[in-house]
Every structure is written in C-alpha cells, then in structure tokens.
Structure 1
C-alpha cells in the first residue's frame, strides 16, 4: 500500500505519529460505559504537506509464526515436523 503519496492531490504524505482511537459510543442511559469496555484501535496517522488531508492506517500486530513440534525420525534420527506423514529426509512412512 502506497502511504507516501496523497490520493487527493498527489502531494507528499508524512507520518505524524501513532494514536489510539476510542471505540464504542456514548449512550443516553449507559453513558460512557460502552467506551470504557470496548477498548481502542491503534492507528498510524499520515498528513499531506500540500492539502493537509489526514489518512489513518490500522497498526497490525506482528504475525506470530505457529511452530509445529519437531520429533526425531525412528528410522534415520533426523528431526521433522510432528504432523509429517513421511520423513522428509529418508522418505520412510511415519506412524
């Protein structure tokens, strides 16, 4: 995604910071309880130098790679993923 060019005027977009946007709403009977319970969304804020347009991009949490347990092959002794149907090293079928 191109974040350094303004979609309105084509000017340069600069990162001006990161903020938390409050989720939820203020209700007539519940007051601000919904705001307190719903949390916040962290966003990166970019501003155009020419037209001052603001753009908000959600900050995505870093993806955690799921690791599968490694076990030794009963035939060759090399480590492989626990859910492999056959050993990727010696090719023998695993139980």
Structure 2
C-alpha cells in the first residue's frame, strides 16, 4: 500500500521512503525529503510537519511544540539570571556591551628557569593576581588588579630655606630666625629704669 509524504505530498512505495521522528511522533516521509530533514532537530521537523497540514498526528505535534516552548523559556530565564549574577557595572570599550566576570588569573613576574619561575633579581618569582572581565557581546577581555601596588618609601622633600630680612640668616620656613631669637634673648631688657639708678624698692 502506497504512503504519502507529509512534506511534499508525493506517494511512495515500500522502498521509496520511511518514517521520520518529528517531535515525539513518527511521520511518513519520502526518500527525497528524508535527506533534507535529516540535519534538522526533532523540534524543527515538528514545526515543518505541522505547517504542511498533512501530519498524521497534528495534536501530538502541537503538544510537543508547546512543551518545548515552555522549556526553552525557562532555560532562557535561567541563562539570563546567570548572566545577571556575573555582570559588572562596566561596559565594553569596543562595542558598548555589558562586561561580565570571567575569573581570576595569576601571573608570575620574572623568567622561566629550570626549576620553575624565577625572578630577575632573586631566587623566587613574585606573583600578580588579576581579575578578568569579558564582554558578553564581542568577547573583548580586560584585566583589573584588585589590590593597589606597593608604594615605595619616599622620604619627605627638604624644604627650601628662607632668608631672614633682619640679619640675613637662612633658616627653615617653619620657624622664626634662630639668630635673631638668640640675640633678643641675650640682649639687656629695656624698661622704665635708667642705667646706674636703683629701683624704688632698693635703698
């Protein structure tokens, strides 16, 4: 008994075709359509079979497609939540897409020796930890250092001395002229008493 291909509508004999899985049901397909449908997924075959209007089990195909749409929507929602969990507040400098956390990479600073990494100026190499973020659209990656660099111990700058306008001595700008202060401390005090006279309380 001849069968009819649900896709092209042609009839075929015993060896002119077969049954192909469309969704979760088998549908009759001729040999020419089999070659065309083989690369497709069961979901794609179910959609095309239902669109022809010649499917033997249209209700089963529709139920299968409804289940697939629900599962696909849930999968897409989970995927979006996963991207939100690793998304950063930075945008890609190339395409403007969102940047996502990609993990941490440890680099060694130095050369590769016979016994492993060695430093240029010592026996053991120093290591650098960098955080990697990646653009979700174009794949461009950037490196960020989570820790600030170790700052060298730099001594305070020497302050430029100033010149005293009275005696010409150069001294620190943070203090007064020490030479003038010394002269003022050792000079005789001036007052209301005259030189050579006794104060009123002495007789």
Normalised TM-score (structure 1): 0.49
| Structure number, greater radius of gyration | 2
Q: Which has the higher helix share?
A: 2
Normalised TM-score (structure 2): 0.25
